[in-house]
Amino acid sequence: MEKQMPKVTIKNSAKNKFLHGYPLIRKEEVLDVQVTNDWVDFVDEKDRFIAKGYLGEQNKGIGWILSLKNVPIDHHFFIQKFEQAKQERSTYFYSQDTDTFRIFNGEGDGIGGMTVDYYNGYAVVSWYNATIYHHRQLIMDSFLKVYPEIIGIYEKNRFKSDLPESNHFYGRKAPEPLIVKENNVQFATYLNEGWMTGIFLDQHEVRGRLVDGLAMGKRVLNMFSYTGAFSVAAAFGGASSTTSVDLAKRSLEKTKEQFAVNGFTLENHKIHVMDTFDYFRYAKKKGLQFDVIVLDPPSFARNGKKVFSVAKNYGDLIADSLPILAEKGIIIASTNASNVPLAKFQKMIEKSFQSGQVKCHLLESHHLPADFKTNSHYEESDYLKVLIYQKVSK
């Protein structure tokens, strides 16, 4: 018989949204927060079963609903979740030109607090709270039942603890770099360097647009370029030149490497280790013009005394882009800031167009791709917003 699970009482005022599928528990919604690593039964104030789940503190919320059915949270449960997620990604697994994507997206696939990414035969699992981490052996055993072909696994420990940010967990170690491909563009990735690997997989659709048309014959400026992933995609898509700008010193070597693994020389591809706003001033002074400008900053960044946040300053990025945007130029405006809803993001951008007296129309908008499956009852989890505008010629 299954052992008795600890019970956690959900307030009546919050109960209904969970019954309708909302997965994230917040502190103010439960009556008695007891610290436990066990799976718990969430019950209502009359002690009636609501859901199975767990408590685990992370940057958002204090726990997750795992099942509205009163089923054991065991091997079988996890195997089913991984199998379903695998099936839903079969087109990705069959793809000839992409071998890196997300294979399990937390609450979108039914288990909040963890994600798994696939990198050409290897898996990278991220744990977002200590409770789910505590159960990792059970979870990864189940994972390997569904993915026996996985060569090696790395873990990213993304919660407060003394654990390293990254460690090798299972199987063979990946080569460094591990070359992966997306839309036939190769990327040098490092699976064991802190939380990041060198590529943000949630942007593969947008990079795909640069590969298959948007960048052809264009001069592309990539701000906040990190390892230059957008620049390399643009080069692959026939850009006449690319310019990558990032403040971090490491971005220079990393970006050079991405061009090198794709066989590009750097003749038409410039890389500047520089503050974005300094680059805008420089480019304006030099009279440079670009046909495509990519603006994908971190939600929040500090450079010395200067603080940048998407919520406050995204409009400045747009305003500074306008003087160097060529006729019919394209702006790819992107943010992963979950505190900035799409409507607000769009308003900030369009206000800057107005103040700059530049007419632009919205060509396309993108959000998370299908492999980053989201829970339809939990809209905030679709954090990615990408709006592509084109300047209307006078």
List of residues contacting ligand SAH (CB under 6 A) = 200, 203, 224-227, 229-230, 245-248, 251, 275-276, 296-298, 301, 303, 308
Closest to ligand SAH by CB, 303 vs 355, is 303
Q: Where are the alpha helices (DSSP H) in the chain?
A: 12-19, 75-88, 90-94, 130-134, 136-146, 204-209, 229-236, 250-261, 276-286, 310-321, 342-355
The minimum distance between CB 137 and ligand SAH, in angstroms, equals: 32
The dihedral formed by the CA atoms of 156, 157, 158 and 160, expressed in degrees to the nearest 10: -160
The answer to whether the CB of 84 falls within 8 A of the CB of 111 is no
For 46, other C-beta atoms within 10 Å of its C-beta total 7
Q: 182 — phi, psi (to 5°)?
A: -140, 125
The minimum distance between CB 324 and ligand SAH, in angstroms, equals: 16
The minimum distance between CB 15 and ligand SAH, in angstroms, equals: 39
List b or e across 98-108, with b for residues whose CB sees 16 or more CB atoms inside 10 angstroms.
bbbbbbbbbbb
The answer to whether the CB of 97 falls within 8 A of the CB of 105 is no
The minimum distance between CB 342 and ligand SAH, in angstroms, equals: 19
Closest to ligand SAH by CB, 168 vs 256, is 256
Closest to ligand SAH by CB, 303 vs 376, is 303
Rounded Cα distance, 217 and 326, in Å: 13
For 6, other C-beta atoms within 10 Å of its C-beta total 14
Closest to ligand SAH by CB, 9 vs 227, is 227
Rounded Cα distance, 75 and 79, in Å: 6
The minimum distance between CB 301 and ligand SAH, in angstroms, equals: 4
Give the residue carrying structure tokens 């369009």. Answer: 350
C-alpha angle 201/207/213, rounded to 5°?
160
List b or e across 179-196, with b for residues whose CB sees 16 or more CB atoms inside 10 angstroms.
ebbbbebbbbbbbbeeee
Closest to ligand SAH by CB, 41 vs 205, is 205
Rounded Cα distance, 63 and 60, in Å: 9
The minimum distance between CB 171 and ligand SAH, in angstroms, equals: 27
Closest to ligand SAH by CB, 68 vs 260, is 260
Closest to ligand SAH by CB, 39 vs 259, is 259
Rounded Cα distance, 206 and 330, in Å: 13
Closest to ligand SAH by CB, 298 vs 323, is 298
The minimum distance between CB 250 and ligand SAH, in angstroms, equals: 8
Closest to ligand SAH by CB, 247 vs 252, is 247
Closest to ligand SAH by CB, 45 vs 278, is 278
The minimum distance between CB 239 and ligand SAH, in angstroms, equals: 15
The minimum distance between CB 146 and ligand SAH, in angstroms, equals: 29
Rounded Cα distance, 33 and 31, in Å: 6
The minimum distance between CB 189 and ligand SAH, in angstroms, equals: 12
Instruction: Write the CA distances from 6 to 32, 33, 44, 113, 343, integer angstroms.
Output: 11, 11, 13, 20, 41
